[in-house]
Amino acid sequence: MLKITQNHGIRPYICYTYTIRRKDIMKKILKLAMCLLTVVGLSACGGASTEKQEAVVKSFFDYLKAGDIEKLSTVCTEDNGDVDDLVSMMASFEELQDVATYGQTFVDEANKFIDSAFQNYVTSYEINSVEEDGDNYLVIVDAKMKDYNNIDLNSETNDIIENYQTEHFSELQEIYLSQGEQAMMEKIFGDMATEIFGAMTKEMEEAKDIDTQLRFTLVPNEDNWLISKIEQKSE
């Protein structure tokens, strides 16, 4: 068994392992933010001729806010690249559901964090116009969203990790030597999950609001309508 001392072994191991995992999570979160920047929920307005389009885009908004990407994909065409990115992104989060690796506390806190990221992303939205475009419909939306791309999720979490290592070194060393690496890692993830994800959630909730205008293209699909494209409208 590897002998662990104060200056060699567990301290750099904790720092390296948790930081690498956290950075991987951060990459996923930031990529998710980039996807959300173009995939923004909306609802339509207008007369009877746009009722079906209204229903589609309203469902889109509801599914996005709920973080239900599977249902979200049902109101979009199969070649909608923006939604494909979100589907792939959420699939990559499945590894955070591994209770055997991270422990139940970490999994629960990760789920709460992801839910919050979706729920708080769109601050407000307003339909600018709904108009026919040949066989299609265009919906222009003025949206106010959280600017997830310009927040710092590292500085405070780095401090949390460093303080935890210092305060719990002896306890973690004992767990490692008596129960093994997996037990130690479950202890680390479980202990820090609430504080780490809590700090990240706070940063995202306090992110600056940004204004943008988006153009949604809806195409006919038998008796329904699907969102085929989402573009940020040029000034």
pLDDT tens by residue, 141-165: 888 888 887 888 777 788 888 888 8
What pLDDT shows up at residue 45? Answer: 34
Neighbours of 118 (CB within 10 A): 20
pLDDT mean over 227-232? 84
* pLDDT greater at residue 18 or residue 223: 223
Which one, of 25, 21, 35, 66, lies nearest residue 149 by Cα? 35
Which one, of 190, 203, 200, lies nearest residue 164 by Cα? 190
Backbone dihedral region of 185: left (phi > 0), alpha (psi from -120 to 50 degrees) or beta? alpha
Report whether pLDDT(200) > 50.
Answer: yes
pTM: predicted TM-score of the whole model, two decimal places: 0.71
Distance in angstroms (rounded) separating the CA atoms of residues 126 and 123: 11
Distance in angstroms (rounded) separating the CA atoms of residues 231 and 213: 9
